Amino acid sequence: MPRSVYDVIVLGAGSVGVPAGWAMAESGLSVLVLDPFASSGQGSNKAAIGGIRATHSDPAKIRLGLRSLEIARTWKDTYGDDIEWTTGGYSFVAYSPREETILKDLLVIQKRYGLDIEWYGRDGLLEIVPPLRPDGLMGGTFSPGDGHCSPLLFGHALYERAKGAGVDFHFGEAAAGIEVRDGRVRGVTTSKGRYGTRVVVNAAGPWAADVGRLVGLVHPVRPDSHEGGITEPVAPFFGPMVVDIAPAPGSANYYFYQLATGQVVFCITPSPSLWGFDRRETSAFLPMVAGRMVRLMPTLANLRVRRTWRGLYPMTPDGSPIVGWAREIDGYLMAIGLCGQGFMLGPGLGELLARAVQGETTPEDEEILELLSPYRVFKGQEALK
Amino acid sequence: MTRIEGHPIVRKERGTPFNFTFAGKTVSAYPGETIASALFAAGVRVFGHHPKDGSPQGLFCANGQCSQCMVLADGFAVKACMTPAAPRLCVEPLDGLPRLPRIDRAPETTEPERKDVSVLILGGGPAGLSAAIELGSRGVDVLVVDDKDRLGGKLVLQTHRFFGSIDAVHAGTRGIDIASRLEGRVRDLPSVDVWLDSTAVAVFSDGLVGVLRGAAYALVRPRVLLVATGAREKSLVFKGNTLPGVYGAGAFQTLVNRDLVRASERLFIVGGGNVGLIAGYHALQAGIHVVGLVEALPECGGYKVHKDKLARMGVPIYTSHTILSANGTEGVESVTVAAIDKGFRPVPGTERSYACDTVLIAVGLDPVDEFRKAAAEFGLPMYAAGDAEEIAEASAAIFAGKIKGLEIARALGATADEVPAAWSRMGEILKSKPGAAVERTALDRYLSGVAGAVYPVFHCSQEIPCNPCTSVCPQKLIAIDETDLRRLPEFRGADAGKACIGCERCVTICPGLAITLVDERGGSDPVVTVPFEFPGDRFSAGDRVVVLDDIGTPLGEVSVLEVKALAKNDRTVLVKVRAPRAIAARIAGIRVQEPWISEPLPEAVEPLGDDAIVCRCERVTAGEIRARIREGYRDMNEIKIVTRAGMGACGGKTCTALIQRLFREEAVPLTDVTENVRRPLFVEVPLGVLAGALDEAASRRASAPARGKGAK
């Protein structure tokens, strides 16, 4: 008979839910992960382009990023699967005083947290990213410890580990209701049945607000679309993730890197934002991103685009994730609003969530939870979201 | 491998040859010829090696869709099948990943060209052109987009006379000539614009269609989209299935009939549908030996007249047989086949191998449906016609396009005319599958009833939509039931009170080469007139030839009396033989291929390794996919994540159907399987082209550059 009572039920088998379920199972909990898609990572996880960095500007994300980076970087040595991890670094480039000022200001904060990141002038940066257009380049930052891996392989490797640790995954099955009695989570109902539990983790990504409604809570999470694409593979010709934060008509920033297998993956942040759940491709994206990319790195002109897609960023009012227990309902844990960084923060966040459920949070965890509290006052925007 | 000289049907002015180099060796090419065709003509079939496993890569689709034929041309990776050779071009094999040529200077970028049009027709083949004619003749503004340098689609590869109705779809005329007729009519319509060398690459949710036009990117906003993109060939999983030399009939016909390259010396065909049967016939016409044909079903699915025609030429057709492997290291050297039982399992001990250099896979067609699916998902006003809607004969596509053209014109308010009921009926008839073969008793009647006269004999014994013979008889003595052109033709002979005059017109026009004329008027042995589509100088008076009955059984050796190669007969030669009365009416053909060509090797060849490939682009084997299915994978997206199947250049065009087939073989119903998501682009486009950065380098990299009018 299938099991019907679990210590924890995680809603969402994506960037956050899978590593969270895994860490919880490893800590001895029985875990069920529910997801309406047919297999793991089919929501926004597979739309991620694969960059993982610690060089954020906010201490909570820096710490989660550092831990996630460590998990990804050591994955092959620890578990044996090749997730195509490459410590290629991140390079934020400046072709105007505006970007130079923003990046140099941030550098101060980043260095304060001990991050390995430096400013390089034009010639120095060209040594790090040779195919950049030299004309007009003022310099940029480079953080050699950041990197990238195949989002598909890493996502799936985490899923395999979670399964191996005993997590039950039910696909094609969404939560239809969350039972709350006497102010405490008691179970989850789906189209296929009822499962008893005392802990529900909302890891539903862009659909987090829908899950919140099941317990009568309003989560300030709403998705916007970012558009990505991938090219044909070519011989390696640059290493780091290149990020251009200069605004241009139609877009706020864009970034791209070359995978270990030779393809260049790229993504753009539309401006104004494309709010909503519509993930259908539009005609505007490719000419816009292509123009920006070939102006920045002219060598890319001869590289063929193979595929394009949209992914949903579950945005919060201040651009930082919302993580923590609900005060209104015992046993309802939020790990939502990752603002498009679920892939790069999820593995570290998953471990923190497991400690939270086990009641074993560290002082550092508490600081993170304080910063990411659902009950914080939302103001401002994180600089490098 | 060389170029074909003296093709019986295709005439071509080649122009002045020039040289380029491949791997340092000089290769000659003719103006307009693709790199791929020139290399094939020079005997080169391996164009590079795959970065993953070093496997030899070569031509596969010959249609710009698959990227298997990439080579380096002056340092830029290009598709050899779509890129014309040029004097002094330096072509290198693509071994592993290409190096991207370094550019330091930022290009000038421009916005894509934008065009609004009432009707955008994707595909200038039989369906698209027929629709354009209906629309254009009613003044509707139309844009036809086609990725080749001339209109006609696959019609331009069809050297045989077409079936169907003379009035409705030009039956009795060769496909290549129908293409010219349709193109001529379209070119005369002022409201119809044509973009050649232009590939539709995506349908977007905002209603625009992305088109790679030469070396530029354009966005077209149609009020109505007509998808007439035709079909792509299905593939098959067997050991050695990606060796250079294994490819589809479309690629073969492109090399042989379009480019007049003798792409093979010895050909083996897998699949007995019309595509495989016709390709075999085309091969024989090109002077290529057709070693044999296997068909998995107990009977060929194609028209019986096509099958019989091939059998009469001397090609063995093995039904209830399958291919086990294509064998060789850098290309096909032999094929191993076996009989199969009712459960389609190979019967041990029946394995046979045949020496060949090419294996044609002709196991059916799938609609090119990605544009249709995207438009449907986005709710855009969309129609589909021809193979993109439903796989059928080209004649059916011509008529379906005509119907859809009128429907669209009406929907746009350009006409009040409704589609006549007779059109709809004709459309259905042309799409119908062939009927069962019937016993013909008429033969006996001819032998007894009109002795001493001249009379036609019909060797077609299966109901198919076809009627050219009825319309050419000056005596009106050939009739098909007027209510249904699928009925068999009847010779009314004496019943009508008129006699056949032996004009030979029915013999000449029959697309199946299935009418002979028996003339018993001379008193001695009758003279039999046999249609023949090989060079007229192949036989001359006095030669002894082997004649065969309708299904290819040899009847004996007889003498040629006369070979008539008349201009009015449009390249159909008439061979007159004198034959004994006992066999005269049974003679249906003359053997062109000697039996020794089809003999098996002394022993069956075991294939090298277990490399039955499902995803050609990423080199994913059937074993890898099967293992995942057995582990419980049911989401094709998840299979893609872990194996990369479907992530390659072609975007799952070939492997999607093969993976579904593996699921069925593993007894998993497809209702339990989640289909993989298909995302644009459907054909790769360089970033520089998308950016409107029209420098020389970007132009070179475009998929279909500088060959026709779209040249930059």
Using a CB-CB cut-off of 8 Å, the residues of chain A touching B651 are: 306-307
Portion 290-319 of B in contact with A at CB < 8 A: none
Please give the Cα distance from B66 to B47 (Å, whole number).
Answer: 14
Using a CB-CB cut-off of 8 Å, the residues of chain B touching A93 are: none
pLDDT value, residue B406: 98
Closest in B205, B642, B681 to A305, CB measured: B681
pLDDT value, residue A3: 84
Closest in B208, B634, B687 to A290, CB measured: B687
Does A308 sit within 8 Å of B693, measured CB to CB? no
Q: Whole-prediction pTM value?
A: 0.94
Identify the sign of the CA torsion A151, A153, A157, A163: positive
Listed in order, strand segments (DSSP E) in B165-288 are 192-195, 198-203, 209-213, 216-227, 231-233, 246-248, 266-270
Identify the sign of the CA torsion B297, B303, B308, B313: negative
Residues 6+ apart with CB under 8 A from B519: B454, B502, B526, B527, B528, B529
In this structure, chain B runs to a length of: 712
Does A39 sit within 8 Å of B638, measured CB to CB? yes
Residues 6+ apart with CB under 8 A from B588: B308, B312, B457, B459, B514, B516, B530, B548, B549, B550
Kindly tell me the burial class for residue B27, based on how many C-beta atoms sit within 10 Å of its own C-beta (0-12, 13-18, 19 or more): buried
Does B684 sit within 8 Å of A283, measured CB to CB? no
| The CA-based dihedral angle spanning residues B607, B611, B612, B614, taken in that order and rounded to the nearest 10 degrees | -160
Closest chain A CA to residue B683: A306
pLDDT value, residue B522: 84
Closest in A152, A298, A307 to B641, CB measured: A152
pLDDT value, residue A385: 47
For testing contact with chain B, the best of A168, A304, A343 (most B CBs within 10 A): A304
Residue reference for tokens 């068909």: B295
Identify the sign of the CA torsion B401, B651, A225, A240: negative
For testing contact with chain A, the best of B57, B206, B641, B699 (most A CBs within 10 A): B641
Does A306 sit within 8 Å of B690, measured CB to CB? no
Does A303 sit within 8 Å of B100, measured CB to CB? yes
Which of B284, B355, B676 is CA-nearest to residue A39? Answer: B676
Q: Is B686 on the interface with A (CB under 8 A)?
A: yes
Structure tokens at B189: 């319509």
pLDDT value, residue B28: 97
If you average pLDDT over every residue of chain B, what do you get?
92
Residue reference for tokens 């077609």: B460
Closest chain B CA to residue A232: B649
Please state, in angstroms and as integers, the Cα–Cα distance from residue A94 to each residue in A101, A129, A249, A320, B136, following that order.
9, 13, 17, 25, 54
pLDDT value, residue B447: 47
pLDDT tens-place string over residues B669-712: 999 999 988 889 999 999 999 999 865 544 554 444 333 333 32
Per-residue pLDDT for B180 more than 90?
yes
Does A46 sit within 8 Å of B693, measured CB to CB? no
Per-residue pLDDT for B451 more than 90?
no
In this structure, chain A runs to a length of: 385
Kindly tell me the burial class for residue A130, based on how many C-beta atoms sit within 10 Å of its own C-beta (0-12, 13-18, 19 or more): middle
Portion 362-381 of B in contact with A at CB < 8 A: 377-378
> What angle in degrees, to the nearest 10, is found between the helix axes of B622-631 and B636-643?
130
Structure tokens at A19: 């590593």
Closest chain B CA to residue A301: B688
Closest chain B CA to residue A299: B103
Please give the Cα distance from A128 to A118 (Å, whole number).
Answer: 12
pLDDT value, residue B461: 85
Residues 6+ apart with CB under 8 A from B617: B66, B67, B68, B647, B648, B649, B650, B655
Residue reference for tokens 């939560």: A175
Confidence of residue B481 (pLDDT cuts 50, 70, 90): confident
According to DSSP, the β-strands at A175-181 and A168-171 are: unpaired
CB atoms within 10 A of CB B603: 9
Peptide bond into A107 cis (omega under 30): no
pLDDT tens-place string over residues B608-629: 766 799 999 999 999 999 999 9
pLDDT tens-place string over residues A30-71: 999 999 999 999 999 999 999 999 999 889 999 999 999 999
Listed in order, strand segments (DSSP E) in B1-127 are 18-22, 25-29, 48-49, 56-57, 70-73, 76-79, 90-95, 113-122
Confidence of residue B449 (pLDDT cuts 50, 70, 90): very low
Measured in whole angstroms, the distance separating CA B31 from the mean position of its chain's CA atoms is 24
Per-residue pLDDT for B654 more than 80?
yes
Structure tokens at A186: 């008691």
For testing contact with chain A, the best of B687, B694, B699 (most A CBs within 10 A): B687
Mean of pLDDT values over A160-170: 98
Which one-letter DSSP state was computed for residue B579? Answer: -
Q: Which run of H or of E encompasses B701?
A: helix B696-701
What SS3 class is residue B600? coil
Closest in A234, A306, A308 to B97, CB measured: A234
Query: How many CA atoms does the CB half-sphere of A105 hold within 13 Å?
Result: 8
pLDDT value, residue B709: 34
Please give the Cα distance from B118 to B121 (Å, whole number).
Answer: 10
Task: Produce one character per residue of B312-351: b if its CB has 16 or more CB atoms within 10 Å, e if not.
Answer: bbbbbbbbbbbbbbbbbeebbbbbbbbbbeeeeebeeebb
Q: Which run of H or of E encompasses A140?
A: strand A139-143
Does A306 sit within 8 Å of B681, measured CB to CB? yes
DSSP string of B291-304, one letter each residue? EEEEESSSS-SS-H
When comparing pLDDT for A382 and A228, which is higher?
A228
Portion 17-56 of B in contact with A at CB < 8 A: 51
Tell me how many residue pairs between chain A and chain B have CB atoms under 8 A apart: 177
pLDDT value, residue B695: 59
Mean of pLDDT values over B189-216: 96
pLDDT value, residue B704: 40
Closest chain A CA to residue B617: A232
pLDDT value, residue A382: 54
Identify the sign of the CA torsion B177, B182, B186, B188: positive
Using a CB-CB cut-off of 8 Å, the residues of chain B touching A171 are: 635
pLDDT value, residue B711: 31
Kindly tell me the burial class for residue B43, based on how many C-beta atoms sit within 10 Å of its own C-beta (0-12, 13-18, 19 or more): exposed
Per-residue pLDDT for A383 more than 80?
no
Q: Are B680 and A307 in contact (CB under 8 A)?
A: yes
Which of A199, A182, A180, A205 is CA-nearest to residue A325? Answer: A199
B120 forms bridges with which residues in the sheet?
B143, B225
pLDDT tens-place string over residues B312-344: 999 999 999 999 999 999 999 999 999 999 999
Measured in whole angstroms, the distance separating CA B637 from the mean position of its chain's CA atoms is 31
Q: Are A220 and A378 in contact (CB under 8 A)?
A: yes
Q: How far B683 CA sits from the closest chain A CA (Å)?
A: 7
Structure tokens at A320: 């930082």
Structure tokens at A91: 């390079």
Q: How far A291 CA sits from the closest chain B CA (Å)?
A: 4
Residues 6+ apart with CB under 8 A from B366: B231, B232, B233, B234, B391, B657
Q: Are A215 and A180 in contact (CB under 8 A)?
A: yes
Confidence of residue A381 (pLDDT cuts 50, 70, 90): low
Per-residue pLDDT for B68 more than 50?
yes
Does A305 sit within 8 Å of B684, measured CB to CB? yes
Residues 6+ apart with CB under 8 A from B490: B442, B478, B479, B480
H helix and E strand count, chain A: 10, 20
Q: Please state whether B65 falls in left (phi above 0), alpha (psi between -120 and 50) or beta.
A: alpha
What SS3 class is residue A44? coil
Using a CB-CB cut-off of 8 Å, the residues of chain B touching A133 are: 104-106
Closest chain A CA to residue B204: A282
Residues 6+ apart with CB under 8 A from B508: B472, B531, B569, B570, B572, B574
CB atoms within 10 A of CB A275: 11
pLDDT tens-place string over residues A302-355: 999 999 999 999 999 999 999 999 999 999 999 999 999 999 999 999 999 999
Mean of pLDDT values over A192-217: 97
Please give the Cα distance from B712 to B701 (Å, whole number).
Answer: 12
- Angle (CA) A332-A337-A341 rounded to 5° is 125
Helical ranges in chain A per DSSP H: 17-26, 59-73, 75-79, 97-112, 122-128, 151-164, 208-214, 285-296, 342-358, 363-371
Mean of pLDDT values over A180-207: 97
Q: How far B688 CA sits from the closest chain A CA (Å)?
A: 4
In the chain, the amino acid numbered B391 is I
| The CA-based dihedral angle spanning residues B187, B192, B196, B199, taken in that order and rounded to the nearest 10 degrees | -150
| The CA-based dihedral angle spanning residues B10, B230, B618, B295, taken in that order and rounded to the nearest 10 degrees | -70
pLDDT tens-place string over residues A87-117: 999 999 999 999 999 999 999 999 999 999 9
Structure tokens at A177: 């209701």
Does A301 sit within 8 Å of B693, measured CB to CB? yes
